A and B are shown apart, each in its own frame.
Chain A
Amino acid sequence: MRALLTALAAGLLFGLGLTGSGMIDPARVLGFLDVAGIWDPTLAFVMAGAVPVAMLGFRLTRHRSAPCCASEFQAPTRSAIDRSLVAGAILFGIGWGLVGYCPGPALAALGLGRTATGIFVGAMLAGMAIFEIARRRWPWQPKRESR
């Protein structure tokens, strides 16, 4: 139960951060990505707030053997820069640039009831499903790791 409440609280905090910072608005994200237009630096400030705080979180737990409400830390273990990483990041970037939604803001915006958000999230889930099917059909690597 404590684990679930912690996850719920973390999700809430994440959603509040996305909303409060303006990252829930695709126009703002596209404004950041549009380096040749009227540049909107918001996303850079969000990262500048998020990364050091998360870094502190990872550092402070370095000497602990287990998290508070689970049996182990599950850090990603792969370190190779492989073709999947490169191709996946580029495909994701193209999709992100087309609409301005990445997974977090798109999901967080679902609760505001926009049709466009719903269409995007539906297609995103379909894209994830296609990935799962493709991976089972053509297993190009032993086991994926999720983050």
Chain B
Amino acid sequence: MIHDFSPISALLGGIAIGLAAAVLWSGLGRIAGISGILGGLATARRGDIAWRIAFLLGMIAAPPLLLLAGGSMPTITVTSAPGLLIAGGLLVGFGTRLGGGCTSGHGVCGLARGSRRSIVATALFMAAAATTVFLVRHLIGALS
């Protein structure tokens, strides 16, 4: 097991995410799925745009606000290989729109609603991601 694993902050962070989903649902009647909120901007009608932007702005503002409030810079270790970043981004963007959701829409909200589609989607993207990591890390061994 990884040595800096902290179950309490993971649970608390998860509770905040669940609360955010509950607030967006009880307040606006919308599912807190990030790919849908973002991708939906492409086809949203007038009156359906502003809330999406407000939500996304709040999300983007959160880490800098934490820093301003005296928090420490969150650790972000991400590959710097442009090819991987671009391939990954394209697949994530296209795949989440085609599949109707991502980790938040299917993984958190969909599972919480007991949606059959979301259970299947979550199982599939988890399995595909784990397989990809296995191939890249252990078979090709190119990246850590």
Residues of A at the B interface (CB closer than 8 Å) are 3-27, 30-31, 33-43, 45-58, 60-61, 64, 66-76, 78-81, 84-104, 106-112, 114-117, 119-132, 144-147
Bound form: Cα–Cα A41–B82 in Å: 28
Give the residue of B86, B115, B132 whose beta carbon is less than 8 angstroms from that of A97. Answer: B132
Q: How far is the CB of A41 from chain B (nearest CB, A)?
A: 6
| Interface set, chain B 62-110, CB cutoff 8 A to A | 62-66, 73-80, 82, 84-110
Q: Are B112 and A55 in contact (CB under 8 A)?
A: yes
| Inter-chain contacts of A66 with B (CB < 8 A) | 29
Known: A15-B62, A50-B14, A104-B103. A81 touches B116 (CB 8 A): yes
Q: Are B29 and A70 in contact (CB under 8 A)?
A: yes
Q: Are B88 and A101 in contact (CB under 8 A)?
A: yes
Interface of B, helix, strand, loop or mixed by DSSP: helix
Q: Are A111 and B27 in contact (CB under 8 A)?
A: no
Interface of A, helix, strand, loop or mixed by DSSP: helix
Bound form: Cα–Cα A13–B66 in Å: 11
Q: How far is the CB of A93 from chain B (nearest CB, A)?
A: 3
13 of the cross-chain contacts (CB-CB < 8 Å) are A13-B16, A17-B15, A33-B126, A36-B137, A70-B30, A88-B95, A89-B124, A98-B87, A123-B86, A128-B38, A132-B42, A144-B97, A145-B100
Known: A16-B16, A132-B42. A54 touches B108 (CB 8 A): yes
B14 to A, closest residue via Cβ = A49
Q: How far is the CB of B105 from chain A (nearest CB, A)?
A: 4
